[in-house]
Amino acid sequence: MAEFSIRQIGDPILRTPTDQIHSVDDTVRRLISSMYEAMDRARGIGLAAPQIGRGVSIFVYGVGESRGAVINPQLTGEGMLAPTPRENSGSGPAAAAAQTRHHDAAEADEERFIKEGCLSVSGIYAPVPRYQKVTLTGLDEDGKHLELQVEGLLAACFQHEVDHLHGRLFVDRLRGELKRSAMQTLRARDYPSSHVKPAEKGRAGAQSQGPESQGLKSQGPNSSGSSFLAPGFTAR
C-alpha cells in the first residue's frame, strides 16, 4: 500500500472544495484503507482525503472505540459553544476591568472547550466555535447510508473534518487574539498570513444542512487528533 505524506498549510489542495463520490468501489475502499494507515501512523483521530492529496469527499476517524469512514458527509448541529473573544479594550480603569473579565472568561474557556489542532497545521492549538451535538449523514465504505448522532469530542472531530472537505482549516474559525496569535506563529514559520482566511460572521462551526462544516490532532489524554492529531483536540 502506498505511503502518503500529510499535506501542510499552504498546499492548494487544502483550500480546494472536494468532489462528491458517485460510486463506492474498490478504488474508493483502497483509498480509505490508505487514509486509516496515514491517520494511525500520525497518531491522529481524524483525517480528510485532501490531507493526503486526494480531492474527494471522504474522511476517516478513530476516537476511542468509535472508528469509521464517511463518504459525502453532511452535518447539522445544535448547541453552539463559542470561546469568549479576547480583544484589546484600550486603557483606563474601565478597560482594566474589562480585561479582567476577559481574562476570567478566557480561563473558563480553557476548562470548557476542546482545544483543536491539526495534522496539516502543526504546533497550533486553540478553542474553536463548535456545535456540542451534531447529526452526520453520508455513506459508509460499503456504500450504505449512515446516520450518526454524536456529541463532545467526536462531534468536534466530525465538524473539523467536514471543514477540510470544503477547503477550510480550523485556524480560519479563530477570532480576536486567538487568530492574531495563530497568524504570528505561522509568520514565524515563514507561512504567509494569507494562508489563513478571515472568520465569517455567523458561520462559526458546522453549517445547518450546509456544505461547510469540518479534522483533528491529539496531544495528551484529553486531546484529539485529526487531521485532528491524536496528538489535535485537547478536551477540557
The span from the first CA to the last CA of the chain, in angstroms, equals 37
Residues annotated in a binding site:
118, 160, 164
Other C-beta atoms closer than 10 Å to the C-beta of 201 total 7
Q: Is 161 a catalytic residue?
A: yes
3-state secondary structure of 141: coil
Q: Which of 161, 177, 200, 212 is catalytic?
A: 161
52 closest CA partner among 118, 120, 1: 120
Residues annotated in a binding site for Fe cation:
118, 160, 164
- The C-alpha cell 460499503 sits at 142
Helix, strand, coil percentages for the chain (3-state, nearest 5): 35, 30, 40
- The C-alpha cell 491539526 sits at 118
Bridge partners, 180 (sequence order):
none
Distance CA 102, CA 83 (A): 11
Distance CA 43, CA 119 (A): 9
Contacts of 133 (CB under 8 A, 6+ apart): 77, 78, 79, 149, 150, 151, 155
The grid coordinates listed for 221 are 489524554
The grid coordinates listed for 66 are 468509535
φ, ψ for residue 131, nearest 5 deg:
-75, 145
Q: Is the dihedral of CA 135, 233, 103, 123 positive or negative?
A: negative
Which residues are known to be catalytic?
A: 161
